[in-house]
Every structure is written in C-alpha cells, then in structure tokens.
Amino acid sequence: MSTDVTDRNPAPAPPGTSGPASGGGLLQLVLDGMRRNMRQYGMLMALGLIVVLFAVWSDGDLLLPRNVSNLVLQNSYILILAIGMMLVIIAGHIDLSVGSLTAFIGAMAAVLMVEHDMPWPLAVVLCLAIGAVAGSVQGFFIAYLGIPSFIVTLAGMLLFRGLTEIFLKGQTLGPFPKDLQEIANGFLPEVGPNTNYHNLTLLLGLALIAFVVLQEVRDRKRQQEFALEVLPAKLFVLKLVALVSAVLVVTLLLASYKGAPVVLLILGVLVVGFGYLMRNAIIGRHIYAIGGNLPAAKLSGVKDKKVTFLVFLNMGMLAALAGLVFAARFNAASPKAGLNFELEAIAASFIGGASMSGGVGTVLGAIIGGLVLGVLNNGMNLVGIGTDYQQVIKGFVLLAAVGFDVWNKRKVGS
C-alpha cells in the first residue's frame, strides 16, 4: 500500500501575505482585496465614481475650489447628524427626532441671543446642554422603560416641532451675532507669506496626511500582532497612495480658494474623536456588542441600558450642535428648519455601511455616506436635474445601498 503524500489542500497564507500567485499581477490582487473588503470599500469607490461622473458632466464645475468649499458648508450639519445617527444605528436603534430637535435648538438659540441679548458663547453652551437633556430623556424612555426607539423618537419629532413653532410664534427670528456666523460660514485666517495658497490649510492638510499614514500603519501592525487578516503589502501601499492623493487634492482645492472652513475643523475633531471612541474605547466596543448580539452582550456583563442611554444623550448633543451650525449658516431660526434632516442622516448612515440589524458601521462610513448624498445633490443641481428627479435618484441610491448590505450578508452566510 502506498501513501499519497501530496498536499492537495495547501495551508492558507499567513496574515499579511497574498497567498499563491494567481498570475493576475497587481490588478488581480486589487480585485481579490476588494472582494474581501467589499463593505469597507464599496461606498468609497461609489463616491469616487460619482465625483468623476459629475465632474465630467458639469464640465469641471463640481471640482472648482469655490464649489468644494460650498460642499463642505452646505452639508456640515447633515454630516454632524450622521455621526450621531451612525452610533444610534450601530446600537440597534433609530432616531426620528433629530430634524425637529435641530430646529428647536436653533429656535432656542435665537430666543436667547436675539430676544434676550445673551452672550453667544453662553447661549451655545446652554443650547448644547438642552440638546443633551432632550437626548437623555428620550434615552431614558428607551433604555430603562423599554419603549421602542421608533415610538419614542417619533413622539419627540412631533414634540420638538411643536415647541419650535411655539417659541418662534410661527415667524423667522434673526440675525445672529457675527462671531457665531463665522463658525458656520467662516474660514481659517491667513498666516505667513503670500504663496497663492492658504498656508494654514496647507499645513493642516500635511498634518492630516501624516496622521492618516501613521494610523493606517499602526492599525496594520496591530492586526498582524493578533494574527488577523490584513491587506497584502502591495494593496496596502496602493490604499495609502489613494488616501494621500485624495487628501492632497482636497487640501489644494480648499487652499486655492479661501482656505479650510471653520466648520470643517469641527467635523475633523468629531470624526477623529468618535472614530477613536468606536475603535479603541470600551464604550465603543459595548455599542457594537449590544447592536450585534444583545443577549450575548448582557451575558458578557455589558450594561446595555446605560450604553443605550449614553448613545441617545450623545445624539441629542450632536443634534444641538447641528442646529446651531444650521441656524448660524442661514443667520436665522425658522419654524421650518430641519425638515427631513433625520431622513438625510439615516440615509447617510445606511449608504455609509450601517446595517439594519445593528452592530455594523463606522464613523468614517457615515461621513462617506453623507458626502455621497451631498455630491449627488450638488452635482444634480449643477447639471440642471429637477428636484423631483433628484428625490427619485436619491431613493434608488438608498435602496441600492441597503440591498447591497442584504446581498453581502447572504453571500457571507452562504
């Protein structure tokens, strides 16, 4: 009797390697990496394709420095809401009240600053506190009384919209102090010699590039230490080149106009802070845990009620911040402010990779989803597509994103 010593099933390649060569070279490596990381890179590629499409369709108007700045300013409040909404959805809940709460905080800010002449820094702090209280009240009903978040936040949507009408008496109230307006509409000051570019924006862009590279290298090393699968070396370098190129292009575009908007720095702080919280902090892991498998999270000692309460408290604060930015941008508080903001934030979260069942999503994904909607809106306006067709197209984009999530789950499970 002879023994066949041929290994018909060779051992898989260790983490960090690309395995046996398939003869396809770098292109095959890229395709294989994309297939393994479809959820992570799918919407990022979609955003790139949308930008290229509308840049060509609008004869380059989409990528004019002035328009890029407007993109940031026009979508800042939705991106702020999307960050908070992503955490809510990861935890397995939904919040329908953020649009109305945004309007209510704008109304409160106008009453405090315009009617009662309160100093704007004190009014801002008070408005953020009011938003935190509003979010915590809803969180209490959801976490400790067990009322579904859909019902509680639907009631909150009606309540805050009614309070906005009461405080504003059905009228628009303004203007806001100029210093507050600068937060939503202003740009970083110019420093240094005349270089035909905004020097401070260039420095911030270079710092961001260094941060991105260091963060990616650090994450890769951490994954290798725990024997987790990482991208092949060539594909990892290609990813770094793509990220650095994207940041550099945006930096140069902003620096060739008026520089980085102030609100972009606020968004940057939020993305870095919440990104770190969700990746490295215990509370972040607990949010993923209760959204992914609540019974298992409870058995593991996760205080699910406390986590849920904090998630909605945070959502209330971010809704208040978005309300202040929105009111300051338009220099007035209006009873009709914030209409459909909750739908935009929810759509941005799902387009950015959140799952209907919870437990999946990233802060950066929420930003990407919000930018997809923002570029769609801006690009369709530039090429003259009517608002009626715009709604249809955005509906199809949202449906496609959720459909992709369902398809991806079935593929992984099969």
Instruction: Look up tokens 């309300």; give the residue.
Output: 323
Query: Mapping DSSP to helix (H, G, I), strand (E, B) and coil, where does residue 333 land?
Result: strand
Q: In this structure, what token pair is assigned to residue 204? A: 């911030």
305-330 average pLDDT score = 96
315-340 average pLDDT score = 95
- Position 118 scores a pLDDT of 94
Under a CB-based contact definition with an 8 Å cutoff, are residues 71 and 370 in contact? no
pLDDT tens digit sequence for 31-81: 555 555 555 567 788 888 899 999 999 999 999 999 999 999 999 999 999
Give the type of residue at 29: L
Burial 55-87 (b: 16+ CB within 10 A, else e): beebeeebbbeebbbebbbebbbbbbbbbbbbb
- Position 233 scores a pLDDT of 85
User: Residue 259 pLDDT more than 70?
Assistant: yes
- Position 19 scores a pLDDT of 44
9-18 average pLDDT score = 44
Residues in the chain: 414
Cα-based torsion angle of the residue sequence 393, 395, 397, 400 in order, rounded to the nearest 10 degrees = -130
Q: In this structure, what token pair is assigned to residue 181? A: 């307006």
Contact partners, residue 45, CB within 8 Å, separation at least 6: 34
Q: In this structure, what token pair is assigned to residue 228? A: 């987790």
- Position 14 scores a pLDDT of 45
Q: In this structure, what token pair is assigned to residue 142? A: 């959801």
104-123 average pLDDT score = 95
Mean of all residue pLDDT scores within the chain: 88
DSSP run (H or E) holding 72? helix 65-90
User: Residue 12 pLDDT more than 70?
Assistant: no
Give the type of residue at 198: H
Backbone angles phi, psi at 187, to 5 degrees: -125, 160
Give the type of residue at 312: F
Q: How far apart are CA 105 and CA 334, in angstroms?
A: 11
Please state, as a whole number, how many other Cβ atoms lie within 10 Å of the Cβ of residue 238. Answer: 16
Contact partners, residue 53, CB within 8 Å, separation at least 6: 379
Dihedral sign of CA atoms 129, 130, 132, 136 in order = positive
Helices in 58-176 by DSSP H: which ranges? Answer: 65-90, 98-110, 120-143, 149-168
pLDDT greater at residue 116 or residue 18: 116
Query: Mapping DSSP to helix (H, G, I), strand (E, B) and coil, where does residue 170 land?
Result: coil
User: Residue 410 pLDDT more than 80?
Assistant: no
Give the type of residue at 86: M
DSSP 62: G
Contact partners, residue 217, CB within 8 Å, separation at least 6: none
Q: How far apart are CA 88 and CA 361, in angstroms?
A: 10
Q: How far apart are CA 333 and CA 172, in angstroms?
A: 6
Burial 132-148 (b: 16+ CB within 10 A, else e): bebbbbbbbbbbeeeee
Angle, helix 341-351 to helix 65-90, in steps of 10 degrees: 80
Q: In this structure, what token pair is assigned to residue 363? A: 């802060």
